[in-house]
């Protein structure tokens, strides 16, 4: 009996010793506290020089909380890990040059809200309430960036094929959710006597600039985009290779992330003038993908990839913060 106990103890000790830095951080209960603290320091430092970051910072708090709830409610990662919300906070904090952008903050909040509400009605064709809330978030995002409406066909398709919640009743609820923000916006503009602003808002959806014109982007925008894109590619290939280990529900949800991520990447390549808005969507959809990779891989190579990406994120954040403070000092 004692031999069996000793063997079991040694076996557990051996497994614990095999945990690499990547796994210890991904599974630690303290990781989220450290990431939140570091992100708060960066946002506070930026706020001292530009008070315009206050409202986007509040939006980040809300979207970060919803991202945590998204992971908890849907078990996106099959072990205990806070890497989904942590990855999102790292992405959102890295792009310091986007801190003053209320547009980017609302778009991130809108898409996190969409995923949070839409995933709640998995296989439920009689959930008009959740569908309404999900598409209300998309409508809210389209108020600040009308091109959000280009994602509607994809969102309706994934509601039918992945979330399995599309029905005539739910489709009507989605339309009402999209329309309601415009109902309030039109009322506000009518009171001000500027209803033509709403007409001009919709005309922007047909405006296309020169495709592939990456000359519009500066060097630190390209570096930040390259980092998020690298994480997206790693996360997508990892999930495609390892999806057999997840249950069907989780696979369907991650296919939603992959679909939106790929559509966003294509959109960004074709119309890079919408960099801030599209990078915001990429951050939201890439976070669960790269979090899945960080939490559920254990090889020496993946450990090195984790360390390289972690140090790169730190360096890019500090670089962007230094440029931001220099511009506003």
Place of tokens 């310091």: 96
**Which residues lie below 8 Å from residue 269, measured CB to CB, with a gap of 6+?**
211, 212
Per-residue pLDDT of the chain (329 residues; tens, 9 = 90+): 545 545 454 444 444 446 789 999 999 999 999 999 999 999 999 999 999 999 999 999 999 999 999 999 999 999 999 999 999 999 999 999 999 999 999 999 999 999 999 999 999 999 999 999 999 999 999 999 999 999 999 999 999 999 999 999 999 999 999 999 999 999 999 998 888 999 999 999 988 888 888 999 999 999 999 999 999 999 999 999 988 889 999 999 999 999 999 999 999 999 999 999 999 999 999 999 999 999 999 999 999 999 999 999 999 999 999 999 998 87
**Which residues lie below 8 Å from residue 3, measured CB to CB, with a gap of 6+?**
none
159 neighbors 114 (Cβ within 8 angstroms): no
Long-range contact pairs involving 89-93 (C-beta distance under 8 Å, separation at least 24): 89/35, 89/36, 89/39, 89/60, 89/64, 90/35, 90/39, 90/313, 90/317, 91/228, 91/231, 91/283, 91/286, 91/287, 92/39, 92/60, 92/63, 92/64, 92/283, 93/38, 93/39, 93/42, 93/43, 93/317
Q: What is the pLDDT of residue 10?
A: 43
Q: What is the pLDDT of residue 206?
A: 87
Q: What is the pLDDT of residue 272?
A: 95
**Which residues lie below 8 Å from residue 194, measured CB to CB, with a gap of 6+?**
none
**Which residues lie below 8 Å from residue 164, measured CB to CB, with a gap of 6+?**
122, 123, 125, 252
Mind giving me the DSSP string for 137-156? HHHHHHHH-GGGGGGHHHHH
Q: What is the pLDDT of residue 306?
A: 97
Q: Please, what's the b/e burial string for 207-217 (b: 16 or more CB within 10 A of its CB; e: otherwise)?
A: eeeeeeeeeee
DSSP3 helix / strand / coil % (the chain, rounded to 5): 85, 0, 15
Q: What is the pLDDT of residue 271?
A: 94
Q: What is the pLDDT of residue 18?
A: 63
Q: Please, what's the b/e burial string for 170-195 (b: 16 or more CB within 10 A of its CB; e: otherwise)?
A: bbebbebbbeebbeebeeebeeeeee
Helix axes 152-161, 128-144, angle to 10 degrees: 160
């Amino acid at each position: 009996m004692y031999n069996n106990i000793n063997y079991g103890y040694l076996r557990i000790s051996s497994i614990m010793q095999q945990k690499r830095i990547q796994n210890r951080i991904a599974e630690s209960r303290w990781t989220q506290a450290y990431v939140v603290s570091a992100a708060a320091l960066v946002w506070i430092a930026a706020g001292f020089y530009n008070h315009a970051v206050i409202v986007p910072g509040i939006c980040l708090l809300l979207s970060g909380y919803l991202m945590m709830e998204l992971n908890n409610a849907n078990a996106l990662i099959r072990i205990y890990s806070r890497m989904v919300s942590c990855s999102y906070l790292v992405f959102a904090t890295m792009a310091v040059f986007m801190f003053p952008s209320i547009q980017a903050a609302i778009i991130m909040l809108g898409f996190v809200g969409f995923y949070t509400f839409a995933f709640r009605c998995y296989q439920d064709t009689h959930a008009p309430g959740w569908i309404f809330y999900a598409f209300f978030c998309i409508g809210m995002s389209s108020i600040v960036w009308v091109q959000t409406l280009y994602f509607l066909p994809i969102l309706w398709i994934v509601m039918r094929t992945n979330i399995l919640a599309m029905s005539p009743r739910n489709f009507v609820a989605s339309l009402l959710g999209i329309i309601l923000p415009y109902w309030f916006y039109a009322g506000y503009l009518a009171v001000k006597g500027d209803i033509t602003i709403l007409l001009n808002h919709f005309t922007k959806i047909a405006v296309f600039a020169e495709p592939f014109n990456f000359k519009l982007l500066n060097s630190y925008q390209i570096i930040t985009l390259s980092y998020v894109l690298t994480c997206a590619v790693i996360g997508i290939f990892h999930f495609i290779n390892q999806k057999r280990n997840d249950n069907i529900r989780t696979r369907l949800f991650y296919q939603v992330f992959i679909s939106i991520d790929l559509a966003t990447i294509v959109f960004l390549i074709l119309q890079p003038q919408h960099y801030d808005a599209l990078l915001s969507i990429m951050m939201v959809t890439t976070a669960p993908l790269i979090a899945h990779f960080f939490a559920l891989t254990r090889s020496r190579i993946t450990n090195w990839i984790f360390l390289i990406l972690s140090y790169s994120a730190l360096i890019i954040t500090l670089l962007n913060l230094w440029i931001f403070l220099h511009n506003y000092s």
